[in-house]
Amino acid sequence: MKIIRSQGSAPFDVPAGAAVRPVPWKVLVVDDEADVRQLTALNLRGFDFCGRPLQLIEAASAQEAKAQMDAHPDIAVALIDVVMESDDAGLRLVEHIRKERNNGLLRVVIRTGQPGMAPERYVIDHYDIDDYRDKTELTMQKLYASVRLALKSYRDLQTIELNRQGLSRILSVTPDLYDLHRDKLEDYFRGVLMQLIGICKLGHSGMISTIDGMVMTVEGRDVCIRAGAGDFEEVPGNEQRRKRIVELCTQVVMDTGMQEGLRSGAAVIPLAVGKEVFGFVYLEAAEDLSEADRELIQVLANQCAAGLENFRLHHSLEDSYEEAIDMLAQVAEFKDSATGAHIYRIQEYTRRLCTELGLKPEEVDSFSKASRLHDIGKVGIPDAVLRKPGSLTREEFAVIQQHSLIGDTILKRSPAMALARLVARYHHERWDGSGYPDGKAGETIPYVARIVAVVDVFDALMSVRPYKGPWSEEQAVAEIEAGTGKHFDPVVARAFLAICKRGGFADLIQSANGEAPLELSPRLS
């Protein structure tokens, strides 16, 4: 799908007669003779190329020319005399332009009234110039032709350079467009808009002074603004214009045609994969966007649309993953209703502990979600054993131990559950190697399982169970302290205790112990 370009004659929300003036081509005339500079201006009066006039910039010496180039970095053509403050001042200026300024775009035309001081063939062979003219042959017509050819060359080279810069930018930002770990979809759209504006601002050596725009998504016939820049930022006073542009752009996308009322030269860029349109971008520039700009914008827009589709698919999978965890956690809750709330507290204990340990936000999120399935294997344990009031026999404890392996078997069918599988299998392993099911020790126990081991024991101690009442917080804390370096990873246990001491788990503890009478009943599991 191509960019749709407005052909309207009247800019939207712009007073009548306030037409945008075309940006002129800048031509530097370097000559120590004032008469020559004046004659050049006279001969080029009314010059127009591609709808843009000339702006002549004069310099009486090579030194003045350097200052003018500092002030006007977008000079397109330089008409340079050779003999000025020195016999080769003009040639030294050419070297300065090409080597010191590294400016290969500016077109250089050498003009000399003393060809013997700078023979044509020598100058052409030894200096990077684009034309050589004897002042005596530069009639009005020949000067016109020379400048026009130089401007055409500059325009074509600039188009190539801008395409190179634009494609380079697209290649550099494409990985960001496929970043699937953004917290909000609005962040994605804001990034898309900024990259598109960045492509526009590459153009024409700063010709485009302002770029305003919006990114919108389409759901059926509904349109939602996702990001705005310039006049379209969500600030008081902009509501009416934003609303009007959305209405017009919606008609453009839905009806495949430009509507009157959009600013002349504005661009509506659909974000689409195949025939499905996810949204569109509306851009307004202070000057009309060139075809090269539009082609680059379309390339980047296509990348954005593909990235958006991947983003949506990724988050759809994440949503499915969370739904699967919710369903499995509910299965565990129905199986053992006494520990249903325990599952949700474990998730929150894990989240806070992971944050304390300095894990990255995405790790905190994935570890805490995985922790909810730590006891999923209990669905395979007989109710008579699982809900038995009182202590278990050794044979019954052996049956309970099987829940770690059962959980592993249930979760291994899905690669998405790999982290939860580690939790289910290894959260009863002990730091000293005396745990089950595999007798792993120390750092051979997966990190996520070492974290869940601490919070699981603490919450179990603080909770009411069929076989016991809640322990006090002091008793439970003392148990964690006693198990540090034996049952629990010492670093993890110390972080957990630090949170406890500053009251960071107070709400979870209150939720766990309720009003049940204190009854300390040891249990092998």
Q: Which of 378, 468, 486, 501 is catalytic?
A: 378
Strands, sheet with 48-49, edge to edge from the N-terminal-most edge strand: 48-49, 52-59, 25-30, 77-81, 107-112, 131-134
Contact 265, 5 (CB under 8 A): yes
SS (H, E, C) 108-174: EEEEECCCCCCCHHHHHHHCCCCEEEEHHHCCHHHHHHHHHHHHHHHHHHHHHHHHHHHHHHHHHHH
Cα distance between residue 53 and residue 141, in whole Å: 17
378 annotated active-site = yes
Neighbours of 413 (CB within 10 A): 8
Q: And the tokens for 16?
A: 């009548």
* Number of continuous H segments (helices) and E segments (strands) in the chain: 17, 11
Crossing angle, helix 418-426 and helix 394-411, to 10 degrees?
170
Q: And the tokens for 298?
A: 């379309």
Cα distance between residue 403 and residue 332, in whole Å: 11
DSSP notation for 366-415: HHHHHHTTTTGGGGGS-HHHHT-SSPPPHHHHHHHHHHHHHHHHHHTT-G
Which of 341, 426, 415, 342 minimizes the C-alpha distance to 377? 426
Contact 432, 486 (CB under 8 A): yes
Kindly list the catalytic residues.
378
